[in-house]
Each structure stands twice: as C-alpha cells, then as structure tokens.
Amino acid sequence: MQPCSKWGGSCNLLYLILLYRAAATIYMKQGATVVLSPGPVTGPLGYVKWTHDGNIAAHWRGYEITCFQQFEGRCHINTENGTLTINNLILKDSGTYRVKIDGVITDVTKFKVISPVLKPRISSECNSVNCTLTCESNITEDMEPVWFFWTIDGVQRPGPKDLIITKETGRDFSCTVKNNVSSEDSTDMKNPLDTGNNKIIIFIIIIIIACTVGGLLCLGLVLVGYFCWYKCRNPEHNPEDPSRECLGAKMLEMAPLNGEKDCFTRARHPPPAGQTDAPRGFPRAEVLGPSSWISGSLCEELISGDLRMTFTSTNS
C-alpha cells in the first residue's frame, strides 16, 4: 500500500488499466469450449466459486464439484489451479465471470458467445456500362459484428457489401464474410461484362446439347436395329407375313389337299409329332398344318396324297 500513497494518482491509473484489461470482452464461437483461469494461485485450494453475471455457476468445497443452471453437465473445475472449463458454449453463456478462491476474488473475465457466419454467394445486376455485385449472406444478430471483403484477381480488400464494377475492374471476383470467430468465402465469379467469358459459356452449352442429341440418336438407331434383328431371328412373332425371309433362311409349309393343286406355306416351330422325307432334291420336311397359298412345279410334284410338309432351307 505504501507505493500507492507515494505515487497517488499514478497508482489509481494503474488500477484502472488492470481492471479494464481484466474486463475486456473475449469472443467465443458457439459450440466451442472455453477455459477460464483465475490467474496464479499458491498452495492447496480449499474453496473455489465461479459466478456468471452475479449468479453462481459452479463451485467446489473440497469434496464435490457442482455446476448450476445452464452449466449443469457442461462444466468442470480443476481443483489444483481453480480453472473453470465450459463445454459446448451456447449464446446464454455470454457475460461476466468472477472467481473467488478461499474467499478472495482473484480475476474477472468477460466473453461473448456468437454464431459463425454462413457461406456467402454473389449476385449481380448489370447494365451496358457496369454491374453491381452483392455479397449475400444470412447475417443474424448473434453473428455480429460482421465484415465484408472482396477479392479481385487474387487481391483481397475490405469493402462494402455491394461492389460496383466495370469491364476493366477485373476478371475474377469472390467475397468473404468474417466475424470474430469465423470466416467464409464465396465461390468465384467471372466478370459478367467480359463478353469473352460469355462466348465460352455459350460454346460449352452448345457442345453439351450436341453431344446429348447425338447420343440419343445413336441410342435410337441401336434400338431400331436390335428390334429388326430380333424380329428376323424370331419369325414366329410375325405369323401375318409367312413369306418373310431373314438372314437367308426361309420356311415353307406345303399342303396339297384332296387332290387339288393348292399349297400352303407357314413357318411354325416346333413341329408336331410325325415327319416324312422330302422329295429328291429338297431338304427335310416336317408334317404341319396348312397356311397361306403358293403355286408352282413344287406343288404339282406333291399333289398326290394328303401330306402337309414344311421345307426348311439351310442357306444361312
């Protein structure tokens, strides 16, 4: 106490400076962990009490640590040095904290819990001469104070939320939103007034559309070709057209009935039970029922009898 009486006003000024530094606001991020220290302590501790805005937050009396109110389940006191740890900070944790060790207040700490900023995006409004770029982000009261920055061709500078540019201002733009606990950047944006960029974008769009249309046409041709091939390989799916030939294969069914010079053709698989040999010079014949009409020397050779035959040429 003697130095204070000796220096008078200087001692009071020093006390005010220390008090101001102890009460300076510290910003903390919502959801983070904070460790509050009482400062240097000597000897074993017997009693530690922390208060928040005048209300008891946590205390230790030598045998049990107790946390109160919103701090319950989220705080801890180190019984060797008196530090208070608060986990998963919430906005309500903001305020002034005082610690009393063995009946003596040793330190005052003040902090404010704020939310981190969100990722911004750039919107633009242009005319033929200039554009107004706006750094848009959902800013709420629990995030403040908030600052905006613009990066133009790799060089960052502080700025307002809105930035007016011309074609000569730069080519690449991005904006940054910051507060005391976080920082978020937007995606890069090209200068809307740079017509070269617009031509590149249009060219890319044309290429994408052309590739899409070409791919669809190719797919359509493949499907049509497969459909035709499938129909040819499976003539039984088209009984309306018995004279159809596919891949060099033709199936004929011939049926001279009751001595008349009438013949039928038909392709049917598999044949019913029973078969006979074909006339000389013809392939194997299978007995089948009648179908559509044909005529010629072949029918005349088979006019006798009631045979109904299918001749299958195996050219393929």
Predicted confidence band at 258 (pLDDT cuts at 50, 70, 90)? very low
Mean pLDDT calculated for residue range 146-153: 97
- Note the pLDDT tens digit of each residue in 180-209: 999 999 999 999 988 765 556 677 788 899
Q: Determine the pLDDT at residue 220.
A: 86
Q: Determine the pLDDT at residue 196.
A: 64
Assess whether pLDDT exceeds 80 at residue 16: no
Predicted confidence band at 138 (pLDDT cuts at 50, 70, 90)? very high
- Note the pLDDT tens digit of each residue in 38-89: 988 887 898 999 999 999 999 999 889 999 999 999 999 999 999 999 999 9
| Half-sphere exposure in the Cβ direction for 1 (13 Å, CA) | 0
Fold of 14-114: Immunoglobulin-like (2.60.40)
Mean pLDDT calculated for residue range 148-163: 96
Predicted confidence band at 274 (pLDDT cuts at 50, 70, 90)? low
Model pTM greater than 0.75? Answer: no
The CATH number assigned to the domain with range 121-189 reads 2.60.40.10
Strand-pairing partners, residue 177, are 148, 184
